[in-house]
């Protein structure tokens, strides 16, 4: 079973609780980066074998399968994190639409909040918010497809190098389940005078497993197959 260790650094500003919740997706500094994140790959069976026989290790086929599982976890983290940001923005727009013409401070509207015109305006704003969400979700799915195509191309080179055809172990559904077991470490405000005890939060606080949207064919890269 693959264990992937990654760090999500969280910077939380001193804002109201409601605003902090709404903007949480934009306050996360992603540490799950291919080039910079401390990514620890270890297969349980391999680790046991190494403890029993220090000279043994993971062969080329094993390493490629571990690489597949690591990629699945990384790409799924990217998809869910970006989906969370999009969904947060969408819900914020819906709440904002409900407040249009409500008569709050600085509202400035002269139309009655319950008038047909105002109700229609709110409905139209929500429609636009939904269209924006659909577009952004489609863009994320297109990026995911392109990343997967690029990975498959590079993987073929790896297979040619080791001279063995290795069945793909990329399983994003399994990666999605695995992500539910992880936590993020929130260190608190950067400018805090006194040290703040880090808090462990569920990864679901910044991840959203949205239904995959339709990718844009015109923006998709050509597959290797």
Per-residue pLDDT of the chain (225 residues), as tens digits, is: 333 333 232 222 333 443 443 344 333 334 343 333 333 333 444 445 445 554 446 788 999 999 999 999 999 999 999 999 999 999 999 998 888 876 654 455 545 667 788 888 889 999 999 999 999 999 999 999 999 999 999 999 999 999 999 999 999 999 999 998 888 877 666 555 666 677 788 888 889 999 989 999 999 988 876
Q: How far apart are CA 205 and CA 6, in angstroms?
A: 16
SS percent in the chain: helix, strand, coil, step 5: 55, 10, 40
Q: Cβ neighbours of residue 141 under 8 Å, at least 6 residues apart?
A: 79, 212, 213, 214, 215
- Quote the pTM value: 0.69
Token digits for 171?
A: 């399983």
Q: At what angle do helices 60-99 and 172-179 cross, to 10 degrees?
A: 60
């Amino acid at each position: 079973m693959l264990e992937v260790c990654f760090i999500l650094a969280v910077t939380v500003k001193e804002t109201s609780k409601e605003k902090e919740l709404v903007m949480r997706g934009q306050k996360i500094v992603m540490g799950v980066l291919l080039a910079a994140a401390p990514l620890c790959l270890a297969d349980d069976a391999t680790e046991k074998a190494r403890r029993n026989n220090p000279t043994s290790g993971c062969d080329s086929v094993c390493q490629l399968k571990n690489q597949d599982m690591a990629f699945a976890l990384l790409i799924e983290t990217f998809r869910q994190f970006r989906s969370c940001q999009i969904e947060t923005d969408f819900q914020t727009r819906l709440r904002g639409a409900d407040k249009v013409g409500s008569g709050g401070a600085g509202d400035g509207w002269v139309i009655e909040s319950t008038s047909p015109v105002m109700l229609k305006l709110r409905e139209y704003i929500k429609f636009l918010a939904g269209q924006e969400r659909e577009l952004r979700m489609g863009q994320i799915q297109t990026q995911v497809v392109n990343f997967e195509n690029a990975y498959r191309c590079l993987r073929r080179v790896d297979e040619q190098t080791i001279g063995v055809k290795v069945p793909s172990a990329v399983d994003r559904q399994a990666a999605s389940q695995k992500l539910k077991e992880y936590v993020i470490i929130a260190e608190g405000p950067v400018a805090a005078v006194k040290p703040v005890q880090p808090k462990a939060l569920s990864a679901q606080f910044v991840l959203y497993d949205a239904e995959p949207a339709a990718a844009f064919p015109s923006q998709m890269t050509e597959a290797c197959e």
